[in-house]
């Protein structure tokens, strides 16, 4: 008998409602203050760990090919580069987060490269390849080129130079440790004050730090569901979609009937053979997706595992939460990968 609903739909609907309706409240529980004045600390290159150096090395090599050499590292997360023959400064920013909301802990390490050129008009051009869409607004004197999918730094620099050529006379970038740190503080102050005006940040009672507002939290929830708000790999998407659609259908249409037929009349026939066979295929799909992907949201798993299976096979295989199981397995595999990839936190 066909079933027009199943446990996956119920779980997905409840999860979505919990995020959309209760997401702001849960995000408030994970408070992360933004200091009014950054405490900057220069870090010696020999103080970086092996893992940190290995993480930075490929980016160092790409920038060296563009004649950008490391100036110095500060706050452990920012690596400043200088090309004495070029008006554009370059900063490598590494962000590592460990967030726990309720019982769910999430960790991630990401990096982005920013080229910045200042102009005599008072404007500045920023070209960067942040992997996710920013929750903040850009100040009016900043022209920001978001190149989320550009991981080749030569191409990123080419795009920066092409746009900079249209904006008039340039100013030289600050040079030397003190000048760079002073510039950072000025930019941080100006940027945060603009976010305050826009309602993106609010000043805490002690006047020493900011926190994000519900407006910003709502943007974060939207970005979570917006597939275009993050860097996507077409190869990774296609491979995950192939695995997520093929393995469940193989279990439903081939493996489950074959196992049931072969084990008919044996002691094992008392077990839910079809359920186990299908479950193994969904579990394997979730594991492989977790291995090949950096992120796998519930809605993505439902799209590639749930939809093809039910479009082709209907509801002939029952109401068990197979896609939910695939999502949970992929989630924990990805979380394990991210923990092993941490370079700042233990």
User: d(Cα 310, Cα 304) in Å, to the nearest integer?
Assistant: 11
Element (H, E) at 284: helix 273-292
pLDDT one digit per residue (tens) for the chain, 346 residues:
455 678 999 999 999 999 888 888 877 777 678 888 877 777 777 778 888 888 888 989 999 999 888 887 776 456 576 677 788 999 988 887 766 555 666 677 888 999 999 999 999 999 999 988 999 999 999 999 999 999 999 999 999 999 999 999 999 988 888 888 888 889 999 999 999 999 999 999 989 899 999 999 999 999 988 888 888 888 999 999 999 999 999 999 999 999 888 877 676 666 788 999 999 999 999 999 999 998 889 999 999 999 999 999 988 888 899 999 999 999 999 988 888 877 776 4
| pLDDT at residue 21, rounded to an integer | 87
Q: Contact 163/143 with Cβ under 8 angstroms?
A: yes
User: Which pTM was predicted?
Assistant: 0.81
Please answer whether residues 150 and 156 qualify as being in contact, where contact means their C-beta atoms are separated by less than 8 angstroms: yes
Give the CB-side neighbour count of residue 151, counting CA atoms within 13 A: 9
Phi, psi angle pair for 162, to nearest 5°: -65, -40
* Predicted pLDDT of residue 101: 55
Question: What would the two tokens of residue 334 be?
Answer: 């990805």
* pLDDT at 111 (0 to 100): 87
């Amino acid at each position: 008998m066909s079933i027009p609903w199943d446990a996956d739909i119920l779980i997905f609907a409840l999860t979505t409602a919990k995020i959309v309706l209760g997401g702001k409240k849960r995000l408030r529980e994970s408070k992360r203050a933004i200091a009014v004045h950054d405490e900057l600390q220069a870090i010696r290159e020999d103080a970086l760990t092996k893992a940190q150096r290995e993480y930075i090395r490929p980016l160092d090599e790409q920038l060296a090919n563009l004649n950008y050499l490391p100036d110095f590292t500060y706050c452990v997360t920012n690596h400043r580069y200088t090309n004495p023959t070029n008006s554009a400064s370059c900063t490598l920013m590494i962000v590592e987060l460990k967030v726990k909301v309720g019982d769910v802990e999430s960790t991630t390490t990401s990096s982005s490269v920013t080229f910045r050129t200042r102009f005599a008009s008072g404007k500045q051009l920023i070209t960067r390849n942040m992997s996710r869409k920013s929750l903040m607004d850009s100040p009016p004197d900043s022209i920001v080129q978001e190149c989320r999918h550009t991981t080749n730094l030569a191409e990123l620099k080419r795009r920066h130079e092409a746009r900079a050529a249209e904006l008039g006379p340039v100013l030289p970038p600050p040079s030397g440790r003190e000048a760079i740190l002073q510039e950072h503080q000025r930019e941080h102050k100006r940027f945060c004050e603009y976010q305050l005006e826009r309602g993106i940040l609010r000043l805490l009672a002690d006047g020493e730090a900011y926190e994000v507002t519900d407006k910003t939290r709502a943007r974060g929830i939207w970005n979570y569901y917006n597939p275009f708000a993050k860097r996507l790999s077409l190869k990774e998407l296609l491979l995950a979609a192939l695995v997520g659609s093929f393995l469940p259908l193989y279990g439903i249409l081939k493996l489950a009937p074959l196992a049931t037929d072969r084990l008919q009349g044996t002691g094992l026939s008392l077990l839910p053979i079809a359920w186990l066979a299908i479950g193994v295929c969904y579990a394997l799909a979730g594991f492989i997706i977790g291995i090949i992907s950096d992120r796998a949201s519930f809605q993505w798993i439902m799209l590639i595992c749930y939809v093809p299976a039910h479009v082709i096979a209907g509801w002939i295989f029952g109401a068990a939460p197979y896609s939910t199981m695939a999502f949970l397995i992929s989630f924990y595999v990805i979380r394990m990968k991210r923990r092993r990839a941490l370079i700042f936190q233990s």
